[in-house]
Structure 1
């Protein structure tokens, strides 16, 4: 048996928008609460997800210039890094994904810097022959960019 629709409190009649408005308000409230609940799970600056073990971010900053990463990328505080062929690396440590596909975690970033083609075949980012140690240091600098 169907439940009769509620009457509009303004004029005592049913309007097609009165039921929709209540449903929309409830949906928006639920979405807001769900969003707030998710904020407490993993803070963006959680060190477990941003620190690169046994790495030197200062050395990584210098290596970005040495490998001429600035030819394609704009990189904060790295000389001659005003490239526009690739995305800016400003606030890289706050990004969720590398190349829009790989979760931005230190181990993934190190692997990306060493061999981007192995992680995302066909990516425009070339393999630059970066050593594992250099990749760790570069990743440490990039993860520090917030």
Structure 2
């Protein structure tokens, strides 16, 4: 019993996830540029995207509250490196996905990821 009392606080501390802002921190990426890349690439044609009034697609999932989701496309860990790669070339990262490769540079894909992490469910 004494061991449990000593180890329980330690286990609870280790099990805690970092706050979303730290977990999704993306140095050198710009959420402002990300929204512009989202508009240019036409992401709103398929997805509902916070901050984008039109178009408001419905064939892909809504991206409201994306930062709080645990998985990308229901199968990949929601991490900045994974998200940036996925938004740029989803079929290469997750074969069989319905999301097409997007006309984004590596820097633009990081900016898009930064934008999605900067938005909060409205």
TM-score past 0.5 threshold: yes
Q: TM-score, normalised by structure 1?
A: 0.69
Query: Which residue of the partner structure matches residue 67 of structure 2?
Result: 93
Q: TM-score, normalised by structure 2?
A: 0.82
Query: Which residue of the partner structure matches residue 16 of structure 2?
Result: 41
Query: Which residue of the partner structure matches residue 60 of structure 1?
Result: 34
Query: Which residue of the partner structure matches residue 89 of structure 2?
Result: 115
| CA RMSD of superposed structures (Å) | 2.0
Instruction: Write the deviation string for residues 73-96 of structure 1: whole angstroms up to 9, x where unpaired.
Output: 000111413100000000111111
> Which of the two has higher C-alpha Rg?
1
Of the candidates 19, 40, 44, which is equivalent to residue 70 of structure 1?
44
Question: Shift of the alpha carbon at 1:43?
Answer: 3.8
Of the candidates 109, 113, 118, which is equivalent to residue 135 of structure 1?
109
**Hey, what's the Cα distance between the residues in 2 that align with 1:81 and 1:60?**
16
Which consecutive residues of structure 1, in runs of 5 or more, have no partner in the other structure? Answer: 1-32
Q: What secondary structure sits across from 1:77 in the alignment?
A: coil
Which consecutive residues of structure 2, in runs of 5 or more, have no partner in the other structure? Answer: 1-7
